[in-house]
Amino acid sequence: MSEAYVRIDIKNEVGYIEFFHPAHNSLPGDILAKLVQIITDAGRNDAIKVIVLKSGGDRTFCAGASFKELININDTATGKVFFSGFANVINAMRKCPKFIIGRIQGKTVGGGVGVAASTDYCMATKFAAIKLSELNIGIGPFVVGPAIERKIGLSAMSQIAIDANSFYPAEWAKQKGLFTLVYETTEELDEAVKTTAEHLCTYNIEAMKEMKYMFWKGTEDWDTLLTERAKISGRLVLSAFTKEKLKGFKQ
């Protein structure tokens, strides 16, 4: 696979949404926008009762924001739009009236952790270590922070946000509540995801809709909150510190 994509396949009333990017499944703006649209459409599609969110490839679930786009930000307006991409995906996921199961087959970084945290039920392999690396380049997990904090608590979120150099193992993420179950292999994960999703399809879709609303109660201000957080990141990415850091990474 060499071309980026976002696609959906519907099997047995389950909508499998898959994204892929050759740069370790990083998420540039166009891929984020496609994810928003497909998640929104799946939420309205009566042929779908449950959604599975996954990425292509075997090794990395999501490397976070597109580095190529990040280094080309030169003004606050562009910065806000860039970081709003993840805000829009998180908001689409929380507003979707259907349960979203996360299938996390490998490492996930930065914004990818936010995407995983925004699923309603997240399953992973033992290779799915997580890292919030934003502080390394002079910004922070401002946009994805609320989603991660909601799932694992402020203390755990603060720990991985401050310790921006370290990957935390999948078992740690399970203990903190990000992952519900951790499997030895991708094959075991896929079988469990399929079984779980198809079993959920046998439940009352109206009951699941009401439960989803209950689970996300208290996040009604996130349209505004995450936009404000995107502004913070959009400002910080223009700092001399961050520009120098990005220059070093580029070299």
Domains of the chain: 5-186 (3.90.226.10)
Pairing of strands 130-131, 107-109: parallel
d(CA 235, CA 54): 31
Convert the pLDDT of each residue in 226-237 to its tens digit: 999 999 999 999
Q: How far is CA 141 from the centre of its chain?
A: 12
d(CA 157, CA 135): 13
- Please name which of 132, 50, 146 lies closest in space to residue 97, comparing C-alpha atoms: 50
For residue 1, the model assigns a pLDDT of 61
Residues 184-202: tens digit of each pLDDT? 999 999 999 999 999 999 9
User: What pLDDT score does 67 carry?
Assistant: 85
120 burial level (CB within 10 Å; 0-12, 13-18, 19+):
buried
List alpha helices for 153-204, DSSP H: 154-162, 170-176, 186-200
Q: H-helix or E-strand containing 31?
A: helix 29-44
pTM metric for this prediction: 0.96
Q: How many residues does the chain have?
A: 251
